[in-house]
């Protein structure tokens, strides 16, 4: 896992009625707490990304289905761990914390529901993107032709993203 990415098991308390899981207590983390929450629902074979934030920390928890998260460190030229794939499943809840500068793509093989917290308000200025299948990402995705948003389909190359990051405002972890 790239340095600074945190995958945290969550404790689910079950009884005859169902179950309850604490997704976040702000005191758990030194990273900034989410100020905004989205719930996203994806159908089968949907990819979102690859995106990277300059300032935002993402806090992700899959609560139904599963999502494969691809991670790639763009903060240094030769990071110790450049890339990783992480599987999040609604069958066993985990929290994934993604710092600024870590590029990430989210692939939903089937129906899935994701809780996504953001540490700053989304205004479109904080995101940069590249093609999900750029070979330099080093991500061995379990898909070949996922469904993409128009923006992700038209995203530029990995090297263009590197250049954009060099000229953009500094990444603030």
Partner 1 sequence: MTGQACHLRAVGELSPVADRSANFVLSSFTSAESPNARLPDGVALRTLSDRWDGAQQITEVYRGDWQLDVAPAQWNFVSSKPNTLRGVHAHPDHWDYLHVVSGEMLLGLHDLRPGYSTFRLAAQCHLSGKRPVGIAIPPGVAHGFYFASHTTYFYALSQYWTSTSELGCRWDDPALGLSWPTSDPLLSQRDATASSYAELAKGVAAALARGSIRP
Contacts to partner 1 by CB under 8 A: 15-27, 33, 35-43, 46, 48, 61, 63-64, 93, 113, 115, 117, 121, 147-150, 152
Q: What does residue 27 show for φ and ψ, rounded to 5 degrees?
A: -70, -15
CB half-sphere exposure, 7, CA atoms < 13 A? 15
The DSSP bridge pattern shows strands 83-89 and 6-9 to be unpaired
Q: Which is nearer to partner 1, 125 or 149 (CB)?
A: 149
Nearer to partner 1, 15 or 30 (CB): 15
Q: How far is the CB of 2 from partner 1 (least distance, A)?
A: 24
Which residues, listed in sequence order, are joined to residue 129 by a DSSP beta bridge? 51
- How far apart are CB 157 and partner 1 at their closest, in Å? 20
Angle 81-86-89 (CA atoms, 0-180°, nearest 5)?
165
Q: To the nearest whole angstrom, how small is the minimum distance from the Cβ of residue 164 to partner 1?
A: 21
C-alpha to C-alpha distances, 3 to 74, 81, 96, 101, 145, nearest whole angstrom = 11, 7, 13, 11, 30
Choice between 26 and 77, CB closer to partner 1: 26
100 vs 117 by CB, closer to partner 1: 117
Minimum Å distance from CB 82 to partner 1?
A: 27
């Amino acid at each position: 896992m790239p340095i600074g990415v945190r995958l945290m098991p969550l404790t689910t308390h079950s009884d005859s009625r169902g179950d309850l899981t604490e997704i976040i207590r702000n005191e758990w983390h030194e990273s900034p707490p989410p100020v905004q929450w989205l719930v996203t629902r994806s159908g089968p074979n949907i990819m979102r990304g690859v995106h990277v934030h300059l300032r935002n920390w993402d806090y992700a928890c899959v609560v139904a289905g599963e999502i494969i998260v691809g991670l790639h460190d763009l903060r240094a030229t030769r990071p110790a761990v450049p890339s990783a794939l992480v599987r999040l499943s609604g069958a066993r809840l985990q929290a994934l914390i993604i710092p600024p500068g870590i590029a990430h793509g989210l692939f939903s093989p089937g129906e899935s529901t994701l809780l996504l917290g953001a540490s700053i308000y989304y205004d479109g200025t904080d995101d940069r993107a590249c093609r999900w299948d750029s070979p330099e990402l080093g991500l061995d995705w379990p898909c070949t032709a996922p469904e993409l948003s128009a923006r992700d389909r038209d995203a530029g190359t990995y090297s263009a993203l590197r250049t954009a990051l060099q000229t953009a405002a500094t990444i603030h972890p």
